[in-house]
Amino acid sequence: MFKKLKHKLHKIRLVIDPHARKKELSYILDNAKSETTLLERIIWLESLVDWIRASTQLPTEFETSTGQFQNARIRFLLQVLDRHHDWKKTVSENFRAILEETSGVQLFCQTGLVQEKGFFSEAATRILKVILPTPPHDKDLAELFNQIFKHKDDAAWITSLSPDVLNQIIALINFEALQSEDIFMNLKYSMTEALLILGSNNASLGLSHEIRQRLPQSFRIVQSPFILLNQSLVETVKNMHTMPDGPEILQLADRSHKHIENCRQLILGVFDQLEKSGVSVHLVYNLETLLDSLNRIDKLLKLLVTNSTSNSMSLVISFMADLAHQSAMNRTLSDLIYSNLHLLSRKIIERTGDSGEHYITKTKSEYFHMLLSAMGGGLLTVGTTVFKFGINKLKLPLFFEGLFSWINYSGSFILMQTFQFTLATKQPSMTASALAGKLTQLQDSQKVDEFIDEVARITRSQFAAILGNLGLVIPGAIAVDFLNVQLAGNHIINYEYANYVLESLHPYKSFTIPLAALTGALLWLSSMASGWLENWIVYRQLPAAISRHRRLTELFGEKTCQRLSHWFSYNVAAFGSNVSLGFLLAFTPIIGRFFGLPLDVRHVTLSTGAMTFAVCSLYDSRLPYTSLTWALVGIFFVGILNFGVSFALALGVAVRARNVNQSRFKQLLKASLKRIRQNPGQFLLPPKF
């Protein structure tokens, strides 16, 4: 009864949806014609693979992500063809015609591999492929492969194919073929030609200047494994064409595999040099390209020279799955960014983390030194706030207002660096990167206590910096305003602007909360700029260039240039952080006003100074205590968001850049909360020893 009802519903569906018929297997097999064009064969093959891939109305016992359903459909298709001779004949003829009329060279040497000369060219190519239509290349098997296997899940069901099923598919392709006809000879020739192309490309790229200058001085080009690999591949391909069954093929293939391994070791050596000499996006891109090409050569050689039939079937399945996976990944911009910028981001984070160690106090003397240093930073912030008010009073054009604000902020931060003062808000993004470095060392439970000790050191260092900044910015602002009244007869800001300052800090009647979070993100960006600049300087070897510069050494002497080089390498990253933070704080409000957006910054130390000046201005008249109370609440949230957002962003990026196992976070969080309950003072006050 149920089967009859299901059959009737299926007929109704075919009447309602005329396109449903075209998705039926019988309809697809009926359209497998012997005499037709290559384009029509390709369209037919696409519809057949779409039927295999279709996952609508699946039985509950099938799981699509494993490829079980698609594998079952392929088996069903083979059984149907075994029972219908005409369908089997036309299907096999279509398969053979497609293989004979298309070229597989691009499939084997290009599909799944990046082709552009640089990272940004490849990124632009991928973006344009999404925006612009691609011209048809019917004779290219690579284009056909990309059209058919265009889903990310295709690799899973290809992998699930068994060697027996693949043997049946090959038998289907050879069904009623002429005995003299070698169906797969075209593919074999394409593989050998792809080997020659990949070998020559690798030799060219492996001998590029960026790679050669990171090799030992004893390295000789004539001994380069890339050159030797290319020569070995040429000799192997020649023997394959002249003596395909000769014993020399296996020996040549083994020699090529050894050269491939030597090439990989050379690339790993260059990666090790990058750890010391800085990272370039272009260089990492070229190294990743070389590794992918070497893997492709390795797999093609194994496919061409394997003797075992069962092993050959497994290699074919694995190779097709890799092609499908890499083809899908190489269509996305995110995969390109992750694979090529991962090492760069990690080196930037590591350099930021090295700077972060400076902000972590371990002893009581270091704690009080941090407190005094932060008090100096708070005092300088008072002057920064005064100059900020002065720039606002000038009513300058937007650009010049932003420019002078940039000079004001950057000059203040550079003075702090010069006098070794501390600004508390710069700490979180630096210390988070240092903390993430400790996460990589947590290989056993005994290291957890050491990690929590590090968290305690960071939090009490941060508390000392906040206490020092705010502890002096408030009395400093009161003193400056008092002096201004005595000398000039007026407060730093007038009555109306003072009311505006208090209202602008209201936690929910203004944009204080989102702007404080935005400022936290800007603080994090400045730390990233610092790490990037230091990596760039190390990569360009600027300190060595300064110490050995001919004209500088003639003018100032060799020892002076060496001291200048040391000072430059030690301070330039901090200068970059200060200048970039000043730029972001100065021009974010300017950009907001230019576009009519409510963009501004809410920096806890600057905002506290501004609020103090406002209170001084309003104190002589009637002080609005309600507005002041809400402003204090707003300051509290500004501090929390400045520190929290900056720390969270830095820690998140550092964890991903270092590939830290995120499953340990819950365990560490529980252990940290337990320690806080047991000894909260450890996270705020200096150690007793």
Largest CA distance in the chain: 109
| Interacting residues of 8 by C-beta distance below 8 A, sequence separation 6+ | none
pLDDT > 90: percent of the chain: 28
- 87-91, 624-628, 663-667: which has the minimum mean pLDDT? 663-667
Q: What is the pLDDT of residue 58?
A: 47
- 14-28, 165-179, 206-220, 364-378: which has the minimum mean pLDDT? 14-28
Q: What is the pLDDT of residue 2?
A: 47
Tell me the pLDDT band of 49, cut-offs 50, 70 and 90.
confident
Strand partners, 103: 140
| Interacting residues of 250 by C-beta distance below 8 A, sequence separation 6+ | 305
For residue 140, what are its two tokens? 């290219």
Q: How many CB atoms lie within 10 A of CB 92?
A: 21
Q: What is the pLDDT of residue 628?
A: 92
Q: What is the pLDDT of residue 444?
A: 55
| Interacting residues of 486 by C-beta distance below 8 A, sequence separation 6+ | none
Separation CA 110–CA 331 (nearest Å): 13
Q: What is the pLDDT of residue 592?
A: 94
- State mean pLDDT over 460-484: 92
| Interacting residues of 514 by C-beta distance below 8 A, sequence separation 6+ | none
Mean pLDDT of the residues in the chain = 81
For residue 28, what are its two tokens? 């697809």
- Tokens 């010391």 belong to 276
Separation CA 147–CA 138 (nearest Å): 11
Nearest to 145 by CA among 390, 296, 331, 311: 331
Q: How many CB atoms lie within 10 A of CB 394?
A: 10
Residue 73 has pLDDT above 50, yes or no: yes
Q: What is the pLDDT of residue 196?
A: 92
Residue 446 has pLDDT above 70, yes or no: no
- Tokens 């806890």 belong to 604
Nearest to 644 by CA among 491, 516, 460: 516
The answer to whether the beta carbons of residues 282 and 208 sit under 8 Å apart is no
**Residues across the chain:** 689
The answer to whether the beta carbons of residues 263 and 225 sit under 8 Å apart is yes
- Side chain identity, residue 229: L
Residue 5 has pLDDT above 60, yes or no: no
Q: Provide the sign of the torsion angle of the four alpha carbons 379, 384, 390, 393, taken in this order.
A: negative
Q: What is the pLDDT of residue 548?
A: 83
Q: What is the pLDDT of residue 164?
A: 87
The answer to whether the beta carbons of residues 22 and 48 sit under 8 Å apart is no
Q: Please, what is the end-to-end C-alpha distance for the chain in angstroms?
A: 86
The answer to whether the beta carbons of residues 143 and 136 sit under 8 Å apart is yes
- State mean pLDDT over 412-439: 78
- State mean pLDDT over 505-532: 90
Does the global pTM surpass 0.95? no
Tell me the pLDDT band of 106, cut-offs 50, 70 and 90.
confident
The segment with the largest mean pLDDT, out of 332-341, 372-381, 614-623, is 372-381
For residue 689, what are its two tokens? 């020893």
Q: Provide the sign of the torsion angle of the four alpha carbons 274, 280, 283, 285, taken in this order.
A: positive
- Side chain identity, residue 315: L
Q: Is 140 helix (H, G, I), strand (E, B) or coil?
A: strand
Q: What is the pLDDT of residue 348?
A: 64
Tell me the pLDDT band of 268, cut-offs 50, 70 and 90.
confident
Q: Kindly tell me the burial class for residue 383, based on how many C-beta atoms sit within 10 Å of its own C-beta (0-12, 13-18, 19 or more).
A: middle
- Side chain identity, residue 87: W
Q: What is the pLDDT of residue 638?
A: 95
- 27-31, 40-44, 117-121, 552-556: which has the minimum mean pLDDT? 117-121
- State mean pLDDT over 433-450: 62
- DSSP track, 403-430: HHHHHHHHHHHHHHHHTT---GGGHHHH
Q: Is 686 helix (H, G, I), strand (E, B) or coil?
A: coil
Q: How many CB atoms lie within 10 A of CB 467?
A: 17
Domain spanning 345-683: CATH superfamily: Glycerol uptake facilitator protein. (1.20.1080.10)
- 2-6, 20-24, 101-105, 570-574: which has the minimum mean pLDDT? 2-6
Separation CA 530–CA 323 (nearest Å): 40
Q: How do the domains of the chain map onto residue ranges?
A: 21-101+149-182, 345-683
Using CA atoms, how far residue 507 sits from 76, 504, 628, 643, in Å, is 66, 8, 11, 17
- Side chain identity, residue 644: G
